[in-house]
Amino acid sequence: MTIKATVAIVGRPNVGKSTLFNRLVGRRQAIVHDLPGVTRDRITGQTTLGGRPVHLIDTGGLQMTEDILGLNDQVFMAAEESDLLLLMVDGKEGRSSGDEEVLQALRRYGKPTVLVVNKSDAKAAQDNEAEFYTLGIPMQVLVSAEHGLGMDALHDAVEELLPEQPEEEEGPDLPALAIVGRPNVGKSSLLNRFVGTERALVSPIAGTTRDPVDSILEVGGTTYRLIDTAGIRRRSQVTGEAEELAVMMAQRQLERAELALLVVDASAGITTGDLAIAGAAWDLGRAMVILVNKWDLIDENARRAVDDSWPRLAELAFEPERVNLSAETGRSLDKVFPAVERARAAYRVMLTTSEVNRIFQKAVARHHAPADRGKPWNLLYATQVKTGPPTFVLFANRSLPKSSSYRRYLENFLRRELGLSGVPIRLKIKARSRRGSYP
């Protein structure tokens, strides 16, 4: 299995980074405005560059001046986490001292870089192209982000420079658990407790962990790979919302795992950041166990506050198992892996076709689907096609939209029947004539 590469678009303000981002992802996701500094937080998207699927990051303009909001730190983090940089300059304006300052600030990361000279539709940009070679970046392409010119050359440059992503060393039979959570909730401390050594750097400064740390651990005869991830960072204090880039970085590691150990800070309760991370894991189809850390440090009122906020997370992840623990003292750590094994067993459940049909027929008999223009919805046949997560195909006289309340009813009924706590399931409903033969 190969992890997606990450490419960041960087440069000084107002050179067209967001326009290029929108062009490459194929939709208007980043805000585009002539006012410098509009993009304050990193925006991420999925696309294909140089023939490879990548995580693409749009960053705010880098300025070597006083940075009260910490915007430069956002750019530096994107550069550090990326496999390749697209350094964008304004070809119409020509080489500037600001471009040189940006390049010098980013050189310390040692990342392969493509110099993207924007606004190639202007004659001035074409005339100025040669002077940008004095920046010392040999891979240079002339583009117009607004009009889509030069995109083929950009793809070719990315294909040439983008490093190959390493293959997973261990085989697929080694269960991988990703330890995820907001900054400073105790993920690295928890990892150290599990492996019994100072395997991960522990610091009170939020965001200490940059690169994922893999540790091999044997518990009860099962060998696991534990993946420690960087904390889900927050935007500047202006917004206080979960940051897209940080969620993406957790996603990169969740792609390597089958189960997420979501660490929550008991003193903070269940936050919107926790919900964002849980949503990311759920969208990727990963099972989940919730570890409420620092439980020993809070009083009864704070514990009631956690319990009061728990239903939001429980609803999102369909009643995942929860362990209240302390990474510092080791309290209740013995409960974690039994919960993990129950979740893994549910995640890998495989039913016979007769069992699947029995469950869905029971669901339909208990609650019929609403008719569509007087025509009832009829289930013809059901089967399970894969596991991890459990995926089912239902053949019916017509499909059901993803937003259908009856589709959600069927999912929840199946989940209750099988005891799939904290495990996503996938339903695919296909229209089929009653006269059609079953597979």
CA angle 266/267/271 to nearest 5° reads 75
Q: What is the pLDDT along the chain (439 residues), one digit of tens a residue?
A: 456 788 999 999 889 998 999 899 885 544 343 434 433 445 677 789 988 888 888 888 888 776 655 678 778 888 888 999 999 999 999 999 999 999 999 999 999 999 999 998 889 888 888 999 999 999 999 999 999 999 999 999 999 999 876 554 444 467 899 998 887 888 888 988 888 855 555 555 554 554 455 788 888 888 888 887 655 444 333 333 334 555 666 676 788 899 999 999 999 999 988 898 898 888 889 999 999 999 999 999 999 999 999 999 999 888 999 999 999 999 999 999 999 999 999 999 999 999 999 999 999 999 998 888 888 899 999 999 999 999 999 999 988 888 889 999 999 899 889 989 999 999 999 987 555 444 4
215 bridge partner residues = 226
For residue 132, the tally of other CB atoms under 10 A from its CB is: 21
Spatial distance between the Cα atoms of 376 and 406, rounded to a whole number of angstroms = 12
Using CB atoms within 10 Å of the CB of residue 122, give its burial: 0 to 12 exposed, 13 to 18 middle, 19+ buried: middle
Using CB atoms within 10 Å of the CB of residue 232, give its burial: 0 to 12 exposed, 13 to 18 middle, 19+ buried: buried
pTM for this one? Answer: 0.64
375 bridge partner residues = 372
Q: Is the peptide bond before 389 cis (omega within 30 degrees of 0)?
A: yes
430 bridge partner residues = 395
Instruction: State the maximum Cα–Cα separation within the chain, in Å, rounded to a whole number.
Output: 74
Contact partners, residue 37, CB within 8 Å, separation at least 6? 13, 14, 60, 61, 63, 71
Domains of the chain are 5-161 (3.40.50.300), 176-346 (3.40.50.300), 353-431 (3.30.300.20)
Query: 110 is written with which tokens?
Result: 């040692």
Spatial distance between the Cα atoms of 436 and 412, rounded to a whole number of angstroms = 28
